[in-house]
Every structure is written in C-alpha cells, then in structure tokens.
C-alpha cells in the first residue's frame, strides 16, 4: 500500500516540489528577460523572439505549473508524492530546454519539454484513475489538460517548422499555441482553482458569492498570503482592500462584473 503524502518517509522537497520548481522558474524568467537586457546593452548582436517566448512559457511558466501540480495533486488524492528521480529529471529537462532554445536547437528544446509534459500527464493519470471523491480533479482543472495539449502540440509544431525545409505555418501556429494557448489555460485553470479554494478557506463561500470587499481582501493578500489573512484583516489590510475596491468601481464598465 502506497504511503500517503504526509508520510514521514518523504523529504520536504518531495512532499512540496514547489520548493524546487518555484525558485527554478524565477531563475528561468530572469534568463529569458536577460536575453533582451544583453541585447540592449550590446553584449550580444542579435536576439530571438522565438527563444524568448519559449523560455518564458516552457521554462518559467512550466516550472511554476509543475511546482503547483506536483504538490497539489498528491495532497488532493492522498497519494504518494512525486519521486526524487522524477523531480530532478523534470528540473534538469527544463534547464536543457532553456539552453537549447537559446542555442536554437529546437528539436532538443521541444523534445525536453515534451518529455516533461509526458511525465506530468503520467503522474496525474496514475493518481486520478482510482475511484473515490478524494481522487477526482477539481472542476477548475478542466483547463489544465487543454493547456498541456497546447504545449505538447505547439512544441511539436515549433520543432517541425524550425527544421530545414519545415513549413513556416507550422512554426507560427506552434508559437501561438505555446505562448498564448498554454499560458491562458494554465493560468486560468490554476487561478480559478486558487480563487475558489481561497474563498472557501477564508469566507466559507464559493468564489461566485464573494462580495466586492471580500474579493478585494483576497486580492491584496496575494503578495504575502502568509502574513496577510484575508479572513481576519487588520486595519492596514482593510485600508488596502478599500483602495482596490474604489479603483475597481472607478475603472469603467469593462470591470463592472467584479462588483455588480
């Protein structure tokens, strides 16, 4: 019988892989940004929009997605955490994909990314396949498989379109799937889940029933959720929430859905 996530035998970074992947994601984000800084400073003579976009999505964003999912899925399913080999291999693959993108070795970059995504799909499938409510993915996760499909399909198209003689249409479509489809689906899928979980934790209501003040309190607690308790706000937090609420009300019709 597999040990649960809370097993004392699992070291902290196996129980909470975000401790590995979140710092890695920040580092990869700075590498992607540094590409433009180096060009602006004259340290390099050219730049690659494709490499920059792929690093930001398949490096930075994917690292954060891995950290979140590899931590959240075992907790929800009360199953064994990710293996040490799987965590280390995924982290190294992200580094390889980033380096290969800047070297314009597209097949290597996309191959490493596809390997990470395939491992993530296998990890999730084995933990959600068994019956029982505790093993069912939350409704908000419906966008995550679509995001992973965009990443895998887009990565394959980028590799194909970047090969000698490859169709330019495949490269363009692949970049759009990776940079737009993957980003939107992963951020919205994880974001909706986080908003729903936070609303139920702090206010004991679904996110759809939050008042404008409760939504503002959640928003201002995001930069430092450990020290800022939206459910028990102090004077400073209430003041910041009031500021956010007033700005929302004065921002025009396009954001009116938040407070109407």
| Percent of the chain with pLDDT strictly greater than 70 | 85
Confidence of residue 133 (pLDDT cuts 50, 70, 90): very low
pTM: 0.71
Cα 216 to Cα 24, 130, 229, 230: the distances in Å are: 30, 38, 12, 9
Q: Looking at beta carbons, which pairs linking 169-176 to residues 24 or more positions away fall under 8 Å? A: 171/50, 175/50, 175/53, 175/54
The domain limits of the chain are 12-207, 211-258
For residue range 80-109, list pLDDT tens digits in order: 899 999 999 999 999 999 999 888 888 899
Which run of H or of E encompasses 98?
helix 84-102
- Tokens representing 26 are 């920040």
CB 63 within 8 A of CB 93: no
Give the confidence band of 148 by pLDDT, cuts at 50, 70, 90: confident
**Cβ–Cβ under 8 Å, residues 94 and 62:** yes
């Amino acid at each position: 019988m597999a040990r649960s996530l809370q097993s004392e035998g699992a070291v902290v970074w196996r129980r909470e892989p975000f401790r590995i992947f979140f710092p890695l994601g920040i580092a990869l984000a700075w590498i992607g940004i540094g590409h433009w800084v180096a060009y602006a400073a004259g340290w390099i003579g050219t730049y690659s929009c494709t490499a920059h976009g792929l690093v930001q999505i398949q490096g930075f964003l994917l690292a954060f997605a891995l950290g979140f999912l590899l931590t959240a899925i075992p907790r929800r399913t009360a199953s064994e955490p990710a293996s040490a080999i799987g965590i280390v291999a995924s982290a190294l693959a992200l580094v390889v994909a980033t380096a290969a993108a800047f070297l314009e070795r597209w097949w290597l970059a996309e191959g490493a990314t596809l390997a990470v995504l395939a491992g993530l799909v296998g990890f999730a499938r084995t933990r959600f396949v068994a019956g029982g409510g505790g093993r069912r993915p939350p409704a908000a996760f419906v966008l995550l498989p679509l995001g992973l499909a965009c990443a895998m399909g887009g990565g394959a198209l980028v590799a194909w379109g970047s090969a000698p003689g490859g169709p330019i249409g495949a490269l363009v479509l692949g970049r759009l799937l990776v940079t737009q489809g993957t980003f939107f689906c992963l951020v919205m899928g994880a974001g909706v889940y986080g908003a729903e979980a936070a609303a139920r934790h702090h206010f004991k209501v679904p996110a759809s029933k939050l008042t404008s003040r409760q939504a503002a309190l959640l928003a201002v607690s995001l930069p430092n959720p450990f020290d800022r308790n939206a459910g028990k706000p102090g004077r400073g937090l209430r003041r910041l929430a009031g500021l956010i609420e007033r700005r929302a009300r004065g921002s025009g019709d396009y954001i009116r859905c938040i407070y109407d």
